[in-house]
Structure 1
């Protein structure tokens, strides 16, 4: 049986980038604050991740404004709802990814469209590629979770299956994959923060070329986003430790 994700995992520079991200996550999980305050850190990480995801879409609001619940922008609200929904969708992601994506779009795109949770019609190439992605998710692979998450993210972002809030859905699906496939089981790492700090559009443009170099570049960028997300969570832990 072919394993295309495993092939991607061996592209130039990818194994080293994935290992570096994995080691960063492992170091984070040993932080003493997480022994008792892991849920608190996860909640804060979720908030920061949602803020970053909305900022990538052009709706950049200060973190403190979010804490005061003063934001009515539908993009920001959608990112917050999608982030909050991840904890309930984990067990379904492996079994029924199409259902999960529909749910993520429903919460992410409320206020942006009335056609919630329904993929665009009339684009046979997009539909076929989406079917391929869902089949890939259901196929056993030896590839690391980070590689799978990177491909899920990129495919959803470039295919735009719903036509609205696709970026929010793509980044939420990436984070859900990192959680459910074992890299970050406690959902501590706001990978969205890392993507905000990096050249997000250029990374996706490289992926869209379809070349081995472009795909490898995107996966390496996702690994860097995880490492930057670890840095963000470490700062959260240090702040809690200081009281």
Structure 2
């Protein structure tokens, strides 16, 4: 899709999007006004990062419990452990990359990939090269690529664009984000900007692997940068996991369709996931207030 400012503004006016934006804003404001946030905001941020990482890893096929993640000290074992470890590293560093994001989003994306795969991987931190394919985004697609029967239900996602096309589109997206950071912001709501960044990274799949966890982390950074969730206490990844991989995949199909209806469905899905993330952190605040945490 075109990622110009005018294009983003038009997305904000699609049917259902203004309502989704208003509901998200109200939900986030209510959480920020919680009594616990006045005294223990840093703890809520830390817990949101952990829960977001757990959920993001689950969406990539490593569905571990919070208790297991808290107990573990080594995440370098099997593939699932490495997936969880990468999500934790990304979640821990995402908030520290905000200053770089404002003037060099591509540098941040490279850093996120390095955090996801570890520095021992020769592809760490670099985009796909000509002839390199991107790994599947969802476990359901990974199973199909490994020769298992592909489900007949749900949207069939197109393959990732070639490396050169992906790089060109990614550069356009980065230019838009830098322009917004430098003061060229339109009235486009943060939810819409975050959903577009999230969807575009899933569409482009600029790296050979781990594009899902990177896209979700980028969405979080946008929500912080755009001022909707400056303390990073609204883990949308939790909501995405709660809504389920099939719904996530189908909503992404709407984004990839490029139609107004499909784009609105994707933005609405991201909004609903964010509200569920708010609900998760609200429950954390309530537990803290009762002295249970």
The partner residue of 1:17 within 11, 20, 43 is 20
CA distance in 2, matches of 1:46, 1:71: 18
Contact 1:194 / 1:227 at 8 angstroms: preserved in 2?
A: yes
CA distance in 1, matches of 2:18, 2:121: 40
CA distance in 2, matches of 1:13, 1:226: 16
The partner residue of 1:100 within 97, 108, 126 is 108
The partner residue of 2:49 within 13, 21, 46 is 46
Change (3 A) 1:190 1:112: farther
The CA RMSD measured in Å over matched residues stands at 1.4
Aligned-pair CA distance for 1:145: 1.0
List 4+ stretches of structure 1 deviating above 2 A: 69-72, 111-114, 138-141
Secondary structure at 1:3's aligned position in 2? Answer: helix
Structure 2 residues without counterparts, runs of 5 or longer: 76-80, 131-162
Secondary structure at 2:171's aligned position in 1? Answer: helix
CA distance in 1, matches of 2:254, 2:73: 37
Aligned-pair CA distance for 1:69: 2.2
Secondary structure at 2:228's aligned position in 1? Answer: coil
CA distance in 1, matches of 2:120, 2:29: 38
Equivalent in the alignment of 2:91? 83
Equivalent in the alignment of 2:278? 230
Equivalent in the alignment of 1:69? 72
CA distance in 2, matches of 1:215, 1:165: 23
Structure 1 residues without counterparts, runs of 5 or longer: none
Equivalent in the alignment of 2:258? 210
Greater per-residue helix proportion = 1
Number of aligned residue pairs:
243
TM-score of the aligned structures, taking structure 1 as reference length: 0.96
- Of residues 17-26 and 135-144 in structure 1, the stretch that sits farther from structure 2 once superposed is 135-144
Aligned-pair CA distance for 1:125: 1.6
CA distance in 2, matches of 1:78, 1:147: 27
Contact 2:202 / 2:215 at 8 angstroms: preserved in 1?
A: yes
Structure with bigger gyration radius: 2
